[in-house]
Amino acid sequence: MVFDPTAAPRDHASFMRWYEAQTTWGEGHSYDDHRVCSPALQRWFLEMIETFPPMNGPIASKDYDPFVTDHCCGRDVIYSAFAWSVADTARKRMRELAIKYGLGFYDVSGDPGEILFPGEETASNQRLERP
């Protein structure tokens, strides 16, 4: 998941509560349209879909290959579910683009799941990782 770092709390417990609230998908709009997102999230999305096109929404791919991705777009988050066969490549690309666009990154499937805020790319001791 990528997120607007100004919307997310920085301590782990608060972040996890915020994440749970975000993934109830209760904002009252379609989660298939990237235009509901903040400008930085929209820029991230438009570059991300060059490799991982959306499965749903107004610009959905007609292809059925492992790179087609289920992107859920909220105002402050984009949650992307990838095929396991491309998960490592997708995670790396997601993280790279989050850094490029000044967004936060949460590796939902990681153990521990890295939570990265802008400016912390090389300061591993500042990342919000599970205790």
User: Beta-carbon neighbour count of residue 74 at 10 Å?
Assistant: 22
pLDDT computed for residue 110 by the predictor:
86
Angle between helix 87-100 and 39-48 (nearest 10): 140
Which residues, other chains included, contact 80 with Cβ-Cβ below 8 Å and sequence gap of 6+?
Answer: 1, 2, 48, 52, 69, 70, 71, 72, 90, 94
Domain locations along the chain: 2-24+35-126
Residue ranges, the chain, pLDDT below 70: 122-131
DSSP letters along the chain, please?
-EE-TTTS-SSHHHHHHHHHHHTT--SSS-TT-GGGS-HHHHHHHHHHTTTS-BSSSTT-----STT-BEEEE-SSEEEEE--GGGHHHHHHHHHHHHHHTT-EEE-TTSSS--EE-TT-SS-GGGS----
How confident is the model at residue 122, as a pLDDT?
57
Encode pLDDT of 118-129 as tens digits: 988 754 434 444
CA distance 39 to 101: 10
Query: Could you tell me the pTM of the whole model?
Result: 0.88
Cα–Cα dist 114/12, whole Å: 11
Rounded to whole angstroms, the Cα distance separating 20 from 79 reads 12
